[in-house]
Amino acid sequence: MAFVRIWIHVVFGTKNRFPYFTKDIKAEVINHIKHNSINKEIFIDCINGHTEHLHCLLGLNADMSVAKVMQLIKGESAFWINKNNITSSKFEWADEYYASSVSESILNNVRNYINNQEEHHRRTTFNE
């Protein structure tokens, strides 16, 4: 059995950076993504975001690529959001995303950054 320990910080946004995520909607979407990821054997260490984007700290397993994980998370969550009318208009994720490997030595820094997104975006906009 392979022992793989690869940490990835991903950021993905809504199409045209539309601010779909009110506090309640964001919490519902994050909760759904967490539960669905367990079913798909995707390890999400932490997840949070702002009105138009989410950050995840992922642990990749031996048989998953970043592209596959993002396809599974974004595709299924958009389908679920639309099927359940979570947003008032049709929901779409932007096609692109950001992904970067994370050294184990700074995992806590990345966790803190992700968990404090609301505070971060009081000071800095997504575009900045």
Per DSSP, the three-state class of 128 is coil
Number of domains in the chain: 1
pLDDT 10s digits, 91-121: 999 999 999 999 999 999 999 999 987 765 5
pLDDT band at 39 (very low <50, low <70, confident <90, very high): very high
Is the pTM higher than 0.85? The answer reads yes
* Position 10 in a domain: yes
* Position 93 in a domain: yes
* Position 72 in a domain: yes
CATH number of the domain enclosing 112:
3.30.70.1290
The domain of 37 spans 6-123
Q: Which pLDDT score, from 0 to 100, does residue 127 have? A: 53
pLDDT 10s digits, 15-32: 999 999 999 999 999 999
Strand partners, 75: none
* Position 66 in a domain: yes
In three state form, how does the secondary structure of 3-65 look? CCCEEEEEEEEEHHHCCCCCHHHHHHHHHHHHHHHHHCCCEEEEEEECCCEEEEEEEECCCCC
